[in-house]
Amino acid sequence: MTTVKETITQRLTERFAPASLEVIDESHLHAGHAGARPEGETHFRVRIVSAAFDGLSRVDRHRLV
């Protein structure tokens, strides 16, 4: 079974061929919030560096992801 983190990593890698990629599970920080599940894997932070983002604004990069 593939985890949500693995799926996110795979899709971003395939789409952007990143020079650097971090997918950080921050679900524990959102316990009790709407959408949070006890088993986790609901909230992630992504840090990605890719040539695909060259020349794009921060908002455009976010939209692309």
- Tell me the whole-structure pTM to 2 decimals: 0.82
**Per-residue model confidence as pLDDT tens digits over 47-63:** 999 999 999 999 999 99
Q: What is the pLDDT of residue 65?
A: 92
Q: What is the pLDDT of residue 20?
A: 98
What distance in Å separates the CA atoms of residue 13 and residue 6, rounded to the nearest whole number? 10
What distance in Å separates the CA atoms of residue 42 and residue 37, rounded to the nearest whole number? 7
Q: What is the pLDDT of residue 23?
A: 97
**Per-residue model confidence as pLDDT tens digits over 3-29:** 999 999 999 999 999 999 999 998 888
Mean pLDDT across the stretch 25-44?
Answer: 78
Residues 6+ apart with CB under 8 A from 35: 42, 43
- Could you tell me which of 27, 48, 25, 47 has the C-alpha nearest to residue 36? 27
